[in-house]
Structure 1
Amino acid sequence: MKKIFSFAKKKKGFSPNSSDTGSVLSAGYELKEKDLGKLHKAASTGDLTKLKQLVKKHDFNQLDKENRTPLHLACAYGHADIVRFLAEGKAKLNLCDNQNRSPLMKAVQCQQEQCAVTLLENDADPNLVDINGNTALHLSALIPSISMAAQLLEHKANINAENKEGCTPLILAVTENHPEMVEFLLKEGADVDADNNSKRTSLMIAASNGQISMVRLLLRYNADISLKDDKGWTADDHSVMNGHHA
């Protein structure tokens, strides 16, 4: 990798290495009041008094048409008091909606950290996967939220979990150009040479995208410059092919 630091000006926009990871920009649920039962409505609006009355006669884990529990909605909308009441009651913490996302995943995706912490403290599973194979840690890497990622790792989230595209949280953070998240994950022991389904490593992706500071960061953590993807290309080859050599 003779000239890996000789990149042209960094390109903006989405990387061709991006995978279908699921949107974090439209993280919340689209709700129609007519489709909500009483429990779900109380959870979504944050009406704890009403919810406490309703659970005396209704199932904590009632599902709506999208397989969402009241806990899913409380997490998505950040009603921490309701989340605590349900989590410490009879609510099942690991039920998944139609996107195969648990309440914890929704709390992370919607950046409701207090809700996420409450769930983790009550033993919610941080390693469940959604329809894209993403864990809660993948979602926190995409946002990015280092504080959320730290909480997940403290509760035994798998730092090298792979989604359906073979991407680890580190690879997603590199792809989305989140250097602080990348360094945090590397400090926490993420595999710098983990590769995706195309055998592309974080270093190859950064080199392909012209992310010079990211390349330097990965090299500081001893990224292997000799590795090749499924086409036989190294990180240096990717930088040349994408016009990032001087």
Structure 2
Amino acid sequence: MHRLIGLLRSVRERSTSGSASAPGAAGASELREKGQGALHSAAASGDLAELQRRWWWWQRLRINRRDAKKQTPLHLACANGHADVVRFLAGKKCQLNPRDSLKKSPLMKAVDHQHKDCVTILLEHGAKPNLKGAGGNTALHMAAVIPSKPLVELLLEHNAHIDAQNELGYTPLTLAITERCEEMVEFLLQKGADVHARDKHERTPLMIAVLAGNMNTIKSLLRHGADLSHQDCIGKQATHYARELTLYTNIAEQLEEYIRCEMTGECSAGGTEGPAVLDSFCAGTAAHCPLGDLQ
């Protein structure tokens, strides 16, 4: 029981300690350390004129040089939001996908600090949106837990895998559920995220939502076709998790009533067969619906 309750806590700790860091986790001052070369300093400070002035000296020798944290000048420009420098370096054919000591690419740095213009430039020059960093998270995982709809949409437009899995088997959708990003969950579902995706223990997003105790997310998942009959690797369903977590007894009761309502057909609109979304459940008023008002 305690292990189940601790599951969500451990996931959240992992996501904030290196998997999908919170935006702005590394400030600009952290990126301008003593001992950096002139090229790194110019990129970090956004000094495009200096870069252009000394370019012929730097281009072959230092454009992809790493600092003590294995960051290239492009990493620093992206972290600090210097789009003109990013465009200049990308146009000079610098490496677009190197990873630093925290396994973050320049694209991940730009996403992490929510510099959409830098993200756009990198993607347009061919940066890899599906590169995996710490914890197996992609830039899309990071954008989903910030949360930032514009960044998610931009990454998807450039072929980011919406159902990419990290080391826990979590997709951006599942990770957004653990972080209680309700609007992002709905947004990803509308964009086609797999509501039946499985993690390393065969848990579905619905099971994770139950563990999180988030009824709004549970409703959203059910509206998009989540299946309450799915089982994890030891045969547990979402209702089993709700029953075992005593804090969520009310959720268990509502889910069980929902299942009964679906099986008997009492809530299906117009006798429609098959799994109906919640908006079409309950032929009567919202008070008759086992999961309450969906508006």
| TM-score normalised over the length of structure 1 | 0.90
1:97 and 2:97 aligned? no
- Asked if the contact 1:17/1:205 (under 8 Å) is kept, the reply is no
- Residue of 242, 249, 253 corresponding to 1:245: 249
1:56 and 2:56 aligned? yes
Q: How far apart are 1:16 and its partner, in Å?
A: 3.2
Q: Secondary structure at the match of 1:203?
A: helix
1:68 and 2:71 aligned? yes
1:24 and 2:22 aligned? yes
| TM-score normalised over the length of structure 2 | 0.75
Structure 2: state its 5+ residue gaps: 1-5, 251-295
Q: How far apart are 1:90 and its partner, in Å?
A: 2.2
More divergent stretch after superposition (72-81 vs 192-201): 192-201
Aligned length in residues: 234
Q: How far apart are 1:225 and its partner, in Å?
A: 0.6
Question: In structure 1, how many angstroms separate the alpha carbons of the residues matched to 2:78 and 2:7?
Answer: 29
Question: In structure 2, how many angstroms separate the alpha carbons of the residues matched to 1:129 and 1:55?
Answer: 31
Give me the identity figure in percent.
Answer: 47
Question: What amino acid does structure 2 have at the position aligned with 1:28?
Answer: A
The structure whose RCO (Cα within 8 Å, separation 6+) is larger is 1
1:64-92 residue CA offsets vs partner (Å, 9 max, x unmatched): 12111101000001111111111112211
Q: Secondary structure at the match of 1:15?
A: helix
- Asked if the contact 2:32/2:41 (under 8 Å) is kept, the reply is no
Alignment RMSD (CA, Å): 1.8
1:41-62 residue CA offsets vs partner (Å, 9 max, x unmatched): 1111111111222332113211
Question: In structure 2, how many angstroms separate the alpha carbons of the residues matched to 1:194 and 1:77?
Answer: 35
Aligned to 2:35: 35
Q: How far apart are 1:26 and its partner, in Å?
A: 5.1
Q: How far apart are 1:181 and its partner, in Å?
A: 1.0
**Superposition pairs of residues 109-188 of structure 1, within 5 angstroms:** 109-188=112-191
1:88 and 2:91 aligned? yes
1:15 and 2:19 aligned? no
- Asked if the contact 1:17/1:175 (under 8 Å) is kept, the reply is no
More divergent stretch after superposition (195-204 vs 14-23): 14-23
Over 6 Å off, 4+ runs? none
